[in-house]
Structure 1
Amino acid sequence: MMHKISRSIVSWGAILIGLVAGCAAPQPTQSENITLHSSESISPAGQSQRGAADKVNELTRTPEIVNTSYQKASRECMVSKGYEARSEYYFPHIVKVRSLVIPRPLSTETARSSGYGTLPGKTKGSDTGYEMSNEESTAFYGDGSDDFQPCQDKVLNELFGPRDVWEYYVTLEDYLIPYVNAFVSSEQSRKINEDWSQCMAEKSYSFAGPGVAMMQTYNTPEAQEVAIADALCREQIRYEERISEGLDVYMTTFLQDNPALIERVSQARKNAEQNAPKMLNGAS
């Protein structure tokens, strides 16, 4: 059974997103040598690969034709079960590495025009299955039993191949997040936030990090003023550049630690890219 992935926000210093529910990481066979590492066991790479985070982003990128095929097949399956077709069904997309670190980037232009904007996770309702009835949700996601095949499993099988192929692809974030958490907990991250806090103190603000500033002032009269100061301090201390450098360090470690996982994910994506055009054209 596949479910939507949900995450919780830990609001202190460099806020991070941690996976707390949703798809459980599959249990590999011993020969596969795929391990779900804890953040405490992860060390920074001795020599960082510049652009390592971009390499991981490319690994996790879902081609548009794959998503289009997934949506088409999902609608057809649900209609065959007697439900009205939705414009979009939840696809277990893998997000970019930078989006796993909160706060998201903030430019001075954005801060001046809209402050912090919308908080992460607080978006308008969409037609992606979040408002499904229990019966419709069961038809699409399943109920945890093996009594029938829910539509999402059926479509993922058609796109990627058997569950033991696609399950690593759609749960890759489970394996990524400990590395992001290790960076957020690192001395490198602490120094970034310390420099930002010092800059903000010079502007008469006291926050442990930009994520805390965002969370504590959101939707308050001073929110935009704080957001502007926040954005200016980020520019002054090269916040985004330093976050990217830190993520490269820990994504280098991720790439070094997980060759078997990367091979499995790459194969799943290759299968999907081959099968998606056939599914769109109605071929079996």
Structure 2
Amino acid sequence: MKKKTLGALILAAGAAATLAAAATPGFSSMVTKPAEHPVSGITWSAEQFASVDTTAEKGLAEAVRRCMAKAGYDYTPASVRTDRVDLKNSIGFDTLTVEDARASGYAVSKPKGPSEPAADSVEGKLFADPAFQTALHGGEPQEQNMVKSSNGTGMLAGGCTGEGITVIYGNPKDYMRATGLAYNSVLIATQSAGQDPEIQEAVEGWKDCMSSTAFPYSQPGEAVSAGLSAGGQKELKIAVTDATCRENTGFDAKLSAVLDKYLTTRMKELESEVAEVQKIRSDASARAAALLG
């Protein structure tokens, strides 16, 4: 029996590892028009729709763990990132409050969730083991384990990955709809929002504020890069200055107002899909809760 004990590893069945970065055919050419009467705060609803269900994802991780144990691997997959999606990130900015900046600098801009194990580590060597990959994703040919959605995205759903998905979500296509495809579907609107001139106006206001400080950067990305490069107390000082100017100029509120314009249009288009995804997630969460006890 091939028994390997692992700590935190990537749950390859997770949305972050399968669909979030998947390209949708024609995505770059799709445009969402701004609504004439934006719904204030609809960005929050869109972020909820784009985020995964925490309980369902924990149940999925446990279902995969149990399946892998039967195959002879003591494999504990790390949970995928289950924080609520911040759609400001999709237009090039992370939400940064003064409180968070004082506490942890630019932690919000640092990589989140599990990363690929180093190739020469115990975990990396295990992931390079064909037998382990077969247990996790199914055997060759790989095409037989690939499940594709109607718009061209796809994911491996064989082996214990597929078994876990079926236990919690019912089938791979519903899993895709409730995770990566839900996330991708709102990015059509944020891509359009990213070109709105009001974003540059918000940046200019922030830049004017920063010009009177010790850190006269021209846009928030420069401040983030400088802070992360500096580290330590200097990172905290830059981050707090940055966050203070964001607060004083209403930077985040202005970005949210821009997103609201485009997401009002997009969420209206997605009304039926939102309802169906909510049902899929509700059922998955109930199955996960039963599995987790």
TM-score by length of 2: 0.72
Match of 2:197 among 162, 184, 187: 187
Cα offset, 1:158, TM superposition: 2.0
**C-alpha contact 1:168 1:264 (8 A) present in aligned 2:** no
1:42-97: CA deviations, max 9, x gaps? Answer: 221111112212222333454443233222211101111111131x4444758424
Distance 1:164 1:186 in 2: 34
Alpha-carbon distance between aligned partners in 2 of 1:165 and 1:6, rounded to the nearest angstrom: 16
| Structure 1 letter corresponding to 2:189 | Y
Aligned residue number for residue 145 of structure 1: 143
Change (3 A) 1:54 1:268: same
Q: 1:202 to 1:63 in 2, by over 3 A?
A: same
- Equivalent residues of 1:197, 1:206 under 8 A apart: yes
Higher helix content, 1 or 2: 2
Task: Calculate the aligned-residue CA RMSD, in Å.
Answer: 3.4
1:218 has 2:228 as partner: yes
Number of the residue aligned with 2:291: 279
Distance 1:123 1:160 in 2: 22
Cα pair distance change 1:4/1:262, threshold 3 Å: closer
Q: Which runs of 5+ in 1 are unaligned?
A: 8-18, 28-35
Letter aligned with residue 87 of structure 2: R
Q: Give the deviation of 1:213 after TM superposition.
A: 1.5
CA drift of 1:214 comes to 0.5
Q: Does 1:156 align with 2:150?
A: no
Task: Give me the whole-angstrom Cα distance separating, in 2, the residues matched to 1:205 and 1:64.
Answer: 39
Q: Distance in 2 between matches of 1:97 and 1:110?
A: 15
Question: Aligned pair 1:207/2:221, yes or no?
Answer: no
Q: For the residues of structure 2 that align with 1:117 and 1:280, how far apart are their CA atoms?
A: 31
Aligned residues: 256
Preserved contact between residue 52 and residue 82 of structure 2 (Cα < 8 Å): yes
Seen in structure 2, the aligned counterparts of structure 1 residues 152 and 90 have a Cα distance that, compared at 3 Å, is farther
* 1:78/1:85 contact within 8 Å kept: yes
- In structure 1, the residue matched to 2:270 is 258
* Paired AA for residue 57 in structure 1: E
Code of the residue aligned with 2:291 in structure 1: it is M
